Amino acid sequence: MKDLLVDCDPGHDDAMALLLALASDRVALEAVTTVAGNQTIEKTTRNACRVLTLADRTDVPVARGMGAPLVRDQVTAGWVHGESGLDGADLPEPETEPIERHAVETIAQTAAESGALHIAPVGPLTNVAVALRKHPDIVEDIERIVLMGGTTEDGNITPAAEFNVFADPEAAKVVFEADVDVTMVGLNVTREARLDRDHVARIREMESAITTVVADLLTYFLDVYETSFEWDGVPIHDACAVAEIVEPGVLDTEHTFATVETKGDLTYGRTVADVRGVSDDWPNVEAPNANVAVDIDRDRFVEMLLDAFETYR
Ligand code: BDR
Ligand code: CA
């Protein structure tokens, strides 16, 4: 069993990432830490507690984290995830509360207790960056970070940037440049990781209280992607990061240079990754420093999600 900590801003796809982790017998979800992103920290923390209540897993501690990015002004994504951050379904009222300990300290302590912690950051990288800066020794106790963020192509909040990285570019840069095994799962890959209406119909047919909420959340999320972005099917971005930890190899990756632009007017928050190997020398980065996802086994990913939801029948 791998020890896993999910740092998140639920968020529809964050909720799916949590449910995937909780359903797996290959990972032990040691803690959930929350960050401001898709919605305010109050809302994302409440949503994390509601998802754990839904899954009947209030034994997993939730630690509230940073409520604002390190440098930039706050951006949220209510137009995608709604006013609550998890619009479209009747989630239960939370039957668990955040623990006293801050998310940053929870990341450090969970890593120290594990000695080989896997971290899936699936929101802005504020908590993880502060943990790495405040407790630099935790790199010894982190086995792997698989983050959902960035892209090798066009962005989704500006033409250049993906939301999680744009929401805190300085924090993302710290994480990319840390001396840890970092894998970036960006939009270039998560855009392929879609569920469509037939998949959601199959989930609805599972007919349990939990899978009905999942189907309602996914229907809301599908509607947003169809009306706002004219997409057929909805990408379950954040679950891709957890899927790679549960089953390494579901992603294809390139080991290369990758970091974040924090100075450009038009390119603020853009991830720059040398997936074509055109450079062997980068500022601030001594050697290839990241694994950048370039492809996903979409059929296997969808199967993993559907199998996970089956466990909640
Ligand atoms: C990312 O942004 C958020 O809205 C999603 O939860 C995901 O983490 C995709 O760009
Ligand atoms: Ca997210």
Q: What are the tens digits of pLDDT across the range 52-83?
A: 999 999 999 999 999 999 999 999 998 899 99
To test ligand 1's pocket by mutation, which of 238, 240, 242, 271 has the most ligand atoms within 8 angstroms of CB? 238
pLDDT band at 269 (very low <50, low <70, confident <90, very high): very high
Centroid of chain to Cα 191: 14
Angle, alpha carbons 12-16-20 (nearest 5°): 170
Give me ligand 2 centre to Cα 278, in Å. Answer: 31
Confidence of residue 231 (pLDDT cuts 50, 70, 90): confident
Give the mutation target among 87, 122, 224, 237 for probing the ligand 1 site: most ligand atoms within 8 A of CB.
237
Tokens encoding 76: 């949220």
Atom 10, ligand 1: which residue's CA is nearest?
Answer: 163
pLDDT, tens digit, for every residue of 15-55? Answer: 999 999 999 999 999 999 999 999 999 999 999 999 999 99
pLDDT tens per residue across span 286-310: 778 999 999 999 999 999 999 999 9
* CA 258 distance to own-chain centroid: 18
Stretch among 93-107, 176-190, 218-232 having the lowest mean pLDDT = 218-232
Distance of CA 261 to the CA centre of its chain: 20
Q: How far is the CA of 280 from the centre of ligand 1 (A)?
A: 31
What CA–CA distance (Å, rounded) separates 132 from 215?
37
Atom 4, ligand 1: residue with shortest CA distance: 38
pLDDT of residue 286: 73
The one-letter amino acid at 307: D
* 3-class secondary structure, 253: strand
Query: What is the number of the ligand 1 atom nearest to the C-alpha of 11?
Result: 6
Q: Which ligand is nearest to the CA of 167?
A: 1
Instruction: Please enumerate in sequence order all residues whose Cβ is within 8 A of that of 52, keeping only pairs 6 or more positions apart, or say none.
Output: 18, 22, 32, 58, 60, 62, 94, 96
Task: Say which amino acid occupies 66.
Answer: M
Omega before residue 11 within 30° of 0, cis: yes
Residue 282: pLDDT over 80 = no
Question: Alpha helix locations (H) across the chain?
Answer: 12-23, 41-54, 78-81, 103-114, 126-134, 163-166, 169-176, 187-190, 197-204, 209-229, 237-246, 298-310
Q: According to the model, what pLDDT value does residue 250 have?
A: 98
| 185-215 pLDDT per residue, tens | 999 999 999 999 999 999 999 999 999 999 9
281 Cα: distance to centroid of ligand 2 (angstroms): 32
**Residue 142 DSSP SS3:** strand
Q: What tokens does 203 get?
A: 């989930």
Residue 229 confidence (pLDDT) above 90? no
Q: Which atom of ligand 1 is nearest to the CA of 238?
A: 8
Of the chain, the percentage scoring pLDDT greater than 70 comes to 99
Ligand closest to 150 (CA) is 1
Atom of ligand 1 nearest to the CA of 9: 6
The ligand with the least distance to the CA atom of 240 is 1
- Give distance in angstroms: CA of 61 to centre of ligand 1: 22
Which of the four pLDDT bands, split at 50, 70 and 90, describes residue 107?
Answer: very high
Closest C-alpha to 149, from 67, 38, 278, 49: 38
pLDDT value at 2 more than 80: yes
pLDDT at 280: 78
Q: Which of 7, 9, 43, 44 to mutate to test the pocket of ligand 1 (most atoms within 8 A of CB)?
A: 9
Please, which pLDDT band fits residue 263 given cuts at 50, 70 and 90? very high
Taking a C-beta distance cutoff of 8 angstroms, is the pair 148, 185 a contact? yes
pLDDT digits (tens, 9 = 90+) for 146-192: 999 999 999 999 999 999 999 999 999 999 999 999 999 999 999 99
Q: What does the pLDDT read at residue 310?
A: 96
Ligand 1, pocket residues at CB < 6 Å: 11, 13-14, 38, 77, 80, 122-123, 148, 156, 162-164, 237-238
Task: Read off the pLDDT of residues 109-150 as tens digits, 9 standing for 90 and up.
Answer: 999 999 999 999 999 999 999 999 999 999 999 999 999 999
**3-class DSSP assignment, residue 140:** helix
Percent share of the chain, pLDDT over 90: 92
The atom number, within ligand 1, closest to the CA of 162 reads: 10
Cite the active site residues: 237
- Rounded to the nearest whole angstrom, what is the distance from the C-alpha of residue 281 to the centroid of ligand 1? 31
Dihedral (CA of 163, 167, 173, 179) sign = negative
C-alpha of residue 38 to centroid of ligand 2, in Å: 7
Domains of the chain in start order, with CATH, are 2-310 (3.90.245.10)
